[in-house]
Structure 1
Amino acid sequence: MRANARLFWILAVFFGLVTVLYIVWSLLDFNHGTVEWAGTFGLGLSMLLSAFLAFYLGRTHAAQGGELPEDRLDANIDDGDPELGFFSPWSWWPILLAGSAALLFLGLAVGFWICFIAVGVGVISLIGWTYEYYRGLFAR
């Protein structure tokens, strides 16, 4: 994780230098002589995103108190194999929930009335996914 943080810091510095170079280059343009704002903001926000990621990875690495198993050369595969949780392989609710999210974004793009249908399907899908082990064959 330390290597990832360093790479993102290097990337942030690179985007910062490229942003300054882009501003200078656009100001020295003989035809216009003004700052081109779309590229400047794009490169500046890329620098900001890289800095945020580097800061987060650095703080997370410091909070974990040392090297992760995937960062050590002498680690085994089983050292970095935590239990991630229980996921139902036969559940259709996540697919319906993703479909309702897609329908919601489609409604924002095409017609707002579709959003009402998407929210209804989404609420039903979320409730069904939450309570799928409380009913039917797999009730506990």
Structure 2
Amino acid sequence: MKIQGHMFNWLAGFILLVAVVYGVWSKEPAGTTALFMAFALALMIGYYLVFTARRVDTGAQDNKAADVADDAGELGFFSPHSWQPLALGFGGALAFLGIAIGWWLVFFALPFILLGVFGWVFEYYRGADQNQ
């Protein structure tokens, strides 16, 4: 995880350099703003990965002498059948369509987004007192 975090931080530095050069040469605010936002996003991801790498065990990708087989095994639990991404995708598409057509459409997208997020968060929740 540590190497991926450093890669995102290097990418953030490159995007910052490109944003400054692009902003000075083009004097175009939309592209410059987008590049600075891409810099911020890459920096947030890089910081999160480096910060999380300090708290978890070292993975095989951080060991230079590791083999490919050292990273084999279970990676985590992934839901095999979830309808929540469909609701979130539909709600997100409707919300972004509302930006193009009219802001009133966002109000129709909001229930789908809230239902998808609520369903995804509590998909495997069985209650505080029940054994799973």
Q: Please state which band the TM-score falls in when normalised by the shorter chain.
A: 0.5 to 0.7
CA RMSD after TM alignment: 3.8
2-structure distance, mates of 1:16, 1:76 = 34
**TM-score, L = length of structure 1:** 0.57
User: What is the DSSP-based 3-state SS (H/G/I as helix, E as strand, rest coil) of the residue aligned with 2:49?
Assistant: helix
Which stretch shows the higher mean deviation, 97-106 or 12-21? 97-106
Q: Where does 1:50-69 land on structure 2 (aligned, <5 Å)?
A: 50-64=42-56, 67-69=58-60
**2:74 matched to which residue of 1?**
82
**TM-score, L = length of structure 2:** 0.60
The structure with the larger Rg is: 1
2-structure distance, mates of 1:5, 1:16 = 16
2-structure distance, mates of 1:37, 1:15 = 16
**2:28 matched to which residue of 1?**
36
1-structure distance, mates of 2:30, 2:61 = 39
- Letter aligned with residue 55 of structure 1: Y
1-structure distance, mates of 2:25, 2:110 = 49
**1:134 matched to which residue of 2?**
none
Runs of at least 5 residues in structure 1 that lack an aligned partner in the other structure? 27-34, 132-139
2-structure distance, mates of 1:98, 1:25 = 41
Partner deviation per Cα, 1:30-89 (whole Å, 9 max, x = no partner): xxxxx3111111111111111111111111111225x212333335636552362375x5
**2:18 matched to which residue of 1?**
18
